[in-house]
Amino acid sequence: MKYEPENIPMSREEMLLLGWDELDILFISGDACVDLPSFAAPLLCRLLMDQGWKVGLICQPDWKDPESITKMGRPRLGCAVSAGNMDSMVCLYTVGRRLRKDDMYSPGGVPGKRPPMASVVYTQMCKKAFPGSPVVTGGMEASMRRIAHYDYWQDKMRPGVLVDSKADILVYGMGERAIVEIFRRLEKGESLDGIRGTVRFLGAKASAALQIDDSYVVLPDYNEMLSDKRALMRETVILEREMNPHCGRKLLQKYNDRYLLVEPPMPPITTEEFDHVCELPFSGKPHPSYKEPIPAYLTVRESIPAVRGCPGGCAFCGLVAHQGRHIISRSPESILRSVKKLINQKFFHGTITDIGGAAGNIYGHTYKDPQMCAKCRRSSCMFPEPCKNYVADGKKLIELLRKVRSCPGVKNVFINSGIRLDLALMQEDLTREIVLNHVSGHMKVAPEHLHPRVLALMRKGKSGDLEKFMKIFEKINQEHGKKQYLIPLFISNFPGCTAKEMKVVDDFLASHNWSPQQAQDYIPLPLTMGAAMYYCGETADGTPIEVNRGLAERRTQLKMLKRDRTIRPKGVHGGPSFREMRGERNRKRFSGSSNGKRKN
């Protein structure tokens, strides 16, 4: 029997309304409950309920009180724990290691609703509240901290999450298949050994009995990681090489007399499976118990998830280590069904804000020879040159967008996922289609940098890509009488970037009278190549690089990005300055629109 309640139960009262006197699985999340496929905890709860289990969700419990997770009773099979859609340290702290003033995933944006290292804290709460009950941990934080890693905010090496948390098993990557298999085995009383996409911390006896053969790769042990900074680079190179689910091997990392065992990645779900999980009976709204808006929900409530994976492998990004390089796209039919469901929502007024994923122009991409991909150990499909086996076909997305535009009730369809410049230059027809029909006035592009050396360190495009794209963008707009602007995203203080390299970006922006609306100072995210470069002060081949660590060292480059250079930029590519846009938004907010009604 499948359980499809209108809302995922979050209290004892809601359980009883469904006729449940006991849960099979209790899910704990660091995010507020937003019942959409873009939010991992509700998606997995819906998937587990779709398998016939009774699942309850407790969001943002009082982490100082283990009793706060007992209100729905002891679960029959076990607990599942997630820090949320993002790493809890990213949610809590700025790049300057100061507490953030808001949390996009909390009601009212109120900060402090989740603890630091939430995966560890929530697991320990479950262990204390429900002694003997199995605990599964997963999500972005657990995934990106599954082995020994550098924590930027604490400025030290930390062990894999399982070592600290004492969870029974960790799920890394996109966890639909793994979490279902785990609870099926728990239901039958079977061993959790050998489940792909999982990590286990073996006991001393199991570690001593382990027969290590060619199916394993041994990582630097934890004591070596603590004593030798370069060990993190060696670990990162091995991890990237073994990330392909078709040829990746098991990883072992020793902690004194015990091994942390990382099973090979789970193969990506199929298009049919992706369609299914995105079409589970989500309400499309936050749980009705919330009285304040949830900022992250307002950002995505009118968007449609369409694609998973990323071909980029950028050194600063954790997507490949979490989602993988293999592109999985939903079927057009499934996306159209989601569009029709969105149209029926009371809040929908005709504008779909996004159809995308990691990037706005990767939908429908495939591979010429799947067997070649199955053997590949590259960290990126796009760097240093686009793989000849990668098919960046824009036709499927063009067809999809035209179908969505033709749906009754749809007035606008925008692409707000960032556009990959390297792909946009390879997809002339798709780029024209997006610029003409799917830009809301401002188009996000992510050159990240302009200096060729820094771009190479980032594994990101070429130095002339942005200017080439700007010419194309401006030409299309001029031909069709459109006034649209680009929103470029740049990163300051990436490892190896000095003030000299950053001045290339500064000079470019000054020459165009351009003040970016968004400036990102680099954050070394766990288990990324960028974090290894930051920590070790060298590249993967051992070349020393300069690294800015303290706030004083970082300030110079960040000021270059943030300086206000414009009264109004020249040409359609520059757009109004941030100050002008903020002033215009405030004017509309308080003076009202032309019809006398306030614009939301």
Residue pLDDT, tens place only, 295-328: 999 999 999 999 999 999 999 998 888 888 999 9
pLDDT of 429 higher than 90: yes
- If you average pLDDT over residues 363-379, what whole number do you get? 94
Separation CA 373–CA 390 (nearest Å): 9
Of the pLDDT bands very low, low, confident and very high (cuts 50, 70, 90), residue 590 is: very low
Separation CA 250–CA 239 (nearest Å): 10
Contact assessment for residue 237 and residue 268, using Cβ atoms and an 8 Å cutoff: no
CA dist 45 → 49, 129, 290, 483, 535 (Å): 6, 21, 19, 44, 37
Instruction: Look up residue 67 and give its two tokens.
Output: 């009793």
Instruction: Look up residue 427 and give its two tokens.
Output: 């997809």
Q: Is 542 exposed, middle or buried (0-12, 13-18, 19+ CB in 10 A)?
A: exposed
Of the pLDDT bands very low, low, confident and very high (cuts 50, 70, 90), residue 23 is: very high
pLDDT of 597 higher than 60: no
Of the pLDDT bands very low, low, confident and very high (cuts 50, 70, 90), residue 517 is: low
Range with the largest mean pLDDT of 91-95, 566-570, 574-578? 91-95
- If you average pLDDT over residues 328-339, what whole number do you get? 98
Separation CA 370–CA 376 (nearest Å): 10
Per-domain boundaries in the chain: 12-202, 441-600
Task: Tell me the pLDDT of the chain averaged across its residues.
Answer: 92
Q: Which residues 6+ apart lie within 8 Å of 279 measured at CB?
A: 334, 337, 338
Separation CA 144–CA 138 (nearest Å): 10
Give the per-residue pLDDT at 4: 61
Give the per-residue pLDDT at 319: 85
pLDDT of 274 higher than 90: yes
- If you average pLDDT over residues 157-173, what whole number do you get? 97
Q: Which of 76, 77, 45 is nearest to 58 (CA)?
A: 45
Question: Which amino acid makes up residue 515?
Answer: S
Strand partners, 82: 29, 138
Separation CA 293–CA 84 (nearest Å): 17
Helices (H), 78-145: 88-92, 118-129, 139-144
Residue 2 CB neighbours (<10 A): 10
pLDDT of 287 higher than 50: yes
Sign of CA dihedral 52, 58, 60, 62: negative
Of the pLDDT bands very low, low, confident and very high (cuts 50, 70, 90), residue 516 is: confident
Separation CA 503–CA 512 (nearest Å): 14
Separation CA 338–CA 280 (nearest Å): 10
Of the pLDDT bands very low, low, confident and very high (cuts 50, 70, 90), residue 1 is: very low
Instruction: Look up residue 366 and give its two tokens.
Output: 């495939």
pTM value? 0.92
Of the pLDDT bands very low, low, confident and very high (cuts 50, 70, 90), residue 600 is: very low
CATH architecture of 12-202: 3-Layer(aba) Sandwich (3.40)
CATH number 3.40.50.720 given to 441-600: no
Find the range with the poorest average confidence among 28-32, 40-44, 441-445, 576-580.
576-580
Q: Which residues 6+ apart lie within 8 Å of 101 measured at CB?
A: 111
Contact assessment for residue 76 and residue 82, using Cβ atoms and an 8 Å cutoff: no
Cα 28 vs. chain centroid, distance in angstroms?
19
